[in-house]
Structure 1
């Protein structure tokens, strides 16, 4: 039974409560069938992820990891209190209490160290792993609560598990030790869950991360404990928040939520929890085998971006879901967690919309929230952001006025330790294998090298040479021991793409479900893709528009002044920076006048770092005119005025890739130049 579609809570509390009760009893009925033991085992994924280290960054992507390593992420272990302690986050602060900081840092720096073959980082994460495993107690518990009276909550371990799994992938010699420790913990966790222990609000929203760890054990190292692993997955789901209901259209919030009542636990509308919760239903599907889990997951993804999405690819949640207004914020943790969840959704479901979205987020929203040298980060970014400073008044109803300052830990420390997973996990998920392991699939376009062995002992090496997304051309060279079919994703924004194989004539690409198949013979195969895109216009609130070409979103990069607000005593490069505008930004544009300008950089190499003001080789020019556009207080732009009148002479302005801008206008009012 299903209620007629309701708009948020607009049909009143009784209708909402009735809908929740119907859904609850329906889900209980479904769960009783699953608990009865049929079907058994785990459903296969659409694609298999490759072990960490199989895919390596090349070209400018390699440089991005170098910049990250030379920046804040690579130095946190040296000076940052939350992760520099050798005893895995001692202390009594909020973040230490949830054991969040060390787990987050470990989860991101494991792939960072492996992908760069950085011995310092690899030594740090190995010490971290050794300490945690060496201090596992006799019950199986892992974490800083060992030999203390602290309450034991499950959540803080989940990012650590992801990091430990990645270490095993990169170094199989660690397998026995890590797998043994995980199985001991699972046995304890299963008992705790049956007894209603180890749960608090964060564990109830983020249970899917533990489910994914259990599924890794089931797929690769079950040790005869398949039933226990499946039962623990079910216990996590049934004691956790009901994502299958949260993501249904009749309950999903259509506007910013600060004045709405959540019919489910409050933290399900929390931005980062929702980013992680996107993995819940695809992980559930693997043990329920219910197609409805995948259907709701796919629809929920669409609803999230329809009602809260940003032209930068991500969605807005300045702590909680924030609607469509350009001034509302997006948390950096939310960005990297959505990237990871989108990769998982693609691997389970196989719909290219997930891959398209992750690529947009990575090449726009992620770099926009960090300074070019990656030494300072924001807690919240804005689509229209005319200052990064202590805000008066503050447009974020749940977060502090310091939230959009670029610094070491503005507002909350979580993004400082969590953001390093973004680039490395994007890279490691850029290629997948088909379920029969006979084919390789290039998912996220960019420069890479890959070395792997497919089914039947087929040793394959792949090199992708490209400046994408700052170029439309990719040249791929494949060396294979045996013939096989290679797939490459053709993004939805490509217009009249072509492929030339082994120097042959260019022919149109012909993707099926987003993938173009290339027949690869034994020996060496080389092909070149040309993937041009048109400029596209996205309609935004108040009659404003956003500008795109290919995966890149474009914005007016506002010239800025810079003031150092704070400097870390131990690490002088870790600074809090205030940015303020030094030029007029109040413009309307004529979308009919947009012109793309692309150039090949000198020497065929992008500048380092590429995501900073004036550095990308792609721009778009627009005819614009100055307009009256109000400022709220002295810190943020009001909503774009609808149908504004020009107040001065028409001129050309240049739009730059969003990720390179730190102050910007990216949702523009419009006018007609002629």
Structure 2
């Protein structure tokens, strides 16, 4: 194995774009002080886990090193999500909790460089559980550079040990072998910003991780790629490569490999694998199906919340975009964020699902169970249905979307807004050019964004124009509107010194996506639309220490068995009162955007009383037509998102 490592190559290819350090981008508008989405998250389960949840609670930790001992997964996940949450909201309580966690872990690093509870024990040392912790530590350094002298030397000591372990075949088990790319990206951050004369060992460790890890370029090759549910297929590679979250991990393996192999084939394989994944397992909500393992296209199969936040944010779609510059990755990230992410949590963010369904007519203990690898409790909204990983992992979604919404060019001469929404940023570009940007919008619940740019010196500012925009225009300082003309997805603006106001209008048409069994899904702009099924709610369980942490059963209270006539789809937009969105906006009936359509009742089979069968082909109306209203997918908790069709008579 050692002979495969070229010790003379010490060049890491720069990314196409460079993300700003944590804290440089802040949420504004509805993401902060109107619909208060990060505030809702902090006031919900994410912000209170440290108070009572046994995997990460301080009381358990003090009593028995619980969340340090859970550096294998739970503590690392929690830390990785709560670091950016605390920084973006400047929340002193959360920042104190994450600082305490960081201090404890670093204070207990042993003389060999190891980080984790295996110190002075006979427990095997596996590398993977440390990787989310390393991401969190990096973010803390970005947000507070005074921590550099404490954190970076500790990371180098750990890298030195990990390199030795890898050369000896140690530290490897199935999860380490499939998630090696996380460590590669940590190493690349160190190489880019804090090499400290250790470039050779950093690159050698990157290469050892690739050669001891699962071969993602082969997993994503078309000849090997599964074209449907995998539970009855033989995987030619280690079983965990078809695990849904690991597929998301693998998507960033190849661009991370490209940075030290310099092989364009790595980027090409990542792009093709991305397309295959969504072609054969994709969902109109932007994500793909994997109820533990890849699950095909059927609308009742599930998608794990960990998959949504892992595939969506930071080092997956965002990392792919920053390395390759291909706008398809940014488009997909935005769709996932505004659809699949809020759909799998209640509006108050106190409960979450393990699995969400595209067509979801009940959230309850399911009999029969449609998920071959997960339990029947998987789509209940609760504290930890099925597995607890999503409880500690989900908070990273929103803050990392926000943090990666702006990037700079490699030469630091230009700034680009990648994701659309209400943000502000302050950064210093090359030549000491101080730039401040504020984006005033209620996007994705509006087509208009007003951006104010203040700069010390002239520079080029870019805004991503999504692929779904039709007839988009821009106006600079109230001048006559002009048509957008993006190049590779980016609209450029020559911004002079001083203050410039850019008004973007980015309308979209209603589009209809073909789905299995002749069914269709409805989109407009970044939002996917579904029928929001009215429901009753029943408390199934309540946490003894925190009464707001409950398990909820949702049951439909009206008919949902409809076919729609796509030719009758009509978009409706109401202006939010006072220009502000209701809070929390991702909840039933609160969206200012809706779509109406002519529908008719049909016969649509169900299994037991828990999930809908596949949409019937060639559905026949069983009653008179009616108008139904479709809402943004993220606001629905029970829903039909893929409909049979019919042709209404005039």
Name the TM-score, length of structure 2 as normaliser.
Answer: 0.97
Which residue of 631, 639, 642 corresponds with 2:617? 642
In structure 2, the residue matched to 1:52 is 22
In structure 2, the residue matched to 1:554 is 529
Contact 2:556-2:638 at 8 Å conserved across structures:
yes
Which residue of 466, 486, 489 corresponds with 1:491? 466
Question: How many residues align structurally?
Answer: 644
Q: Secondary structure at the match of 1:624?
A: strand
Moved more, 270-279 or 447-456: 270-279
User: What are the equivalent positions in structure 2 for 1:512-661 lying under 5 Å apart?
Assistant: 512-661=487-636
Gaps of 5+ in 2: none
Listed one character per residue, the Cα deviations across residues 282-334 of structure 1 (whole Å, up to 9, x for unaligned) are 10111100100000001111100000000000000000000000000000000
In structure 2, the residue matched to 1:465 is 440
Question: Does residue 1:392 correspond to 2:362, yes or no?
Answer: no
- In the alignment, the residues of structure 2 paired with residue 534 and residue 585 of structure 1 have an alpha-carbon distance, to the nearest angstrom, of 26
In structure 2, the residue matched to 1:359 is 334
Question: Does residue 1:208 correspond to 2:181, yes or no?
Answer: yes
**1:149, CA displacement in angstroms?**
2.2
Which residue of 287, 291, 294 corresponds with 1:321? 294
Listed one character per residue, the Cα deviations across residues 60-106 of structure 1 (whole Å, up to 9, x for unaligned) are 11111000000000000000000014686997999966720000000
In structure 2, the residue matched to 1:420 is 395
Contact 1:193-1:235 at 8 Å conserved across structures:
yes
Contact 2:518-2:644 at 8 Å conserved across structures:
yes
User: What are the equivalent positions in structure 2 for 1:164-183 lying under 5 Å apart?
Assistant: 164-183=137-156
Contact 2:377-2:385 at 8 Å conserved across structures:
yes
Q: Secondary structure at the match of 2:567?
A: strand
Which residue of 103, 116, 126 corresponds with 1:130? 103
In structure 1, the residue matched to 2:258 is 285
Over 3 Å counting, the alpha-carbon distance change for 1:90 and 1:586 in structure 2 is: farther
**1:492, CA displacement in angstroms?**
0.2
Name the TM-score, length of structure 1 as normaliser.
Answer: 0.94
- In the alignment, the residues of structure 1 paired with residue 376 and residue 221 of structure 2 have an alpha-carbon distance, to the nearest angstrom, of 33
Contact 1:89-1:96 at 8 Å conserved across structures:
no
- In the alignment, the residues of structure 1 paired with residue 601 and residue 219 of structure 2 have an alpha-carbon distance, to the nearest angstrom, of 43
- In the alignment, the residues of structure 1 paired with residue 501 and residue 261 of structure 2 have an alpha-carbon distance, to the nearest angstrom, of 42
Contact 1:95-1:101 at 8 Å conserved across structures:
no
Over 3 Å counting, the alpha-carbon distance change for 1:97 and 1:469 in structure 2 is: closer
In structure 2, the residue matched to 1:250 is 223
Listed one character per residue, the Cα deviations across residues 10-62 of structure 1 (whole Å, up to 9, x for unaligned) are xxxxxxxxxxxxxxxxxx9xx97x73356531001010010000000001111
- In the alignment, the residues of structure 1 paired with residue 480 and residue 145 of structure 2 have an alpha-carbon distance, to the nearest angstrom, of 44
- In the alignment, the residues of structure 1 paired with residue 149 and residue 317 of structure 2 have an alpha-carbon distance, to the nearest angstrom, of 30
- In the alignment, the residues of structure 1 paired with residue 396 and residue 87 of structure 2 have an alpha-carbon distance, to the nearest angstrom, of 12
Question: Does residue 1:306 correspond to 2:279, yes or no?
Answer: yes
Question: Does residue 1:382 correspond to 2:361, yes or no?
Answer: no
Over 3 Å counting, the alpha-carbon distance change for 1:301 and 1:93 in structure 2 is: farther
Q: Secondary structure at the match of 2:468?
A: coil
Contact 1:82-1:89 at 8 Å conserved across structures:
no
Question: Does residue 1:226 correspond to 2:196, yes or no?
Answer: no
- In the alignment, the residues of structure 1 paired with residue 312 and residue 272 of structure 2 have an alpha-carbon distance, to the nearest angstrom, of 17
Listed one character per residue, the Cα deviations across residues 565-623 of structure 1 (whole Å, up to 9, x for unaligned) are 00011110000000000000000000000000011110000011000000010000000
Contact 1:89-1:99 at 8 Å conserved across structures:
no
In structure 1, the residue matched to 2:127 is 154
Which residue of 491, 499, 503 corresponds with 2:478? 503
Listed one character per residue, the Cα deviations across residues 134-180 of structure 1 (whole Å, up to 9, x for unaligned) are 00000000012122222111011000000000000000000011001
- In the alignment, the residues of structure 1 paired with residue 346 and residue 618 of structure 2 have an alpha-carbon distance, to the nearest angstrom, of 34
Q: Secondary structure at the match of 1:138?
A: coil
Listed one character per residue, the Cα deviations across residues 370-423 of structure 1 (whole Å, up to 9, x for unaligned) are 000000000000000000000000000000000000000000000000000000
Q: Secondary structure at the match of 1:463?
A: strand
**1:660, CA displacement in angstroms?**
0.2
**1:277, CA displacement in angstroms?**
1.4
Contact 2:187-2:202 at 8 Å conserved across structures:
yes
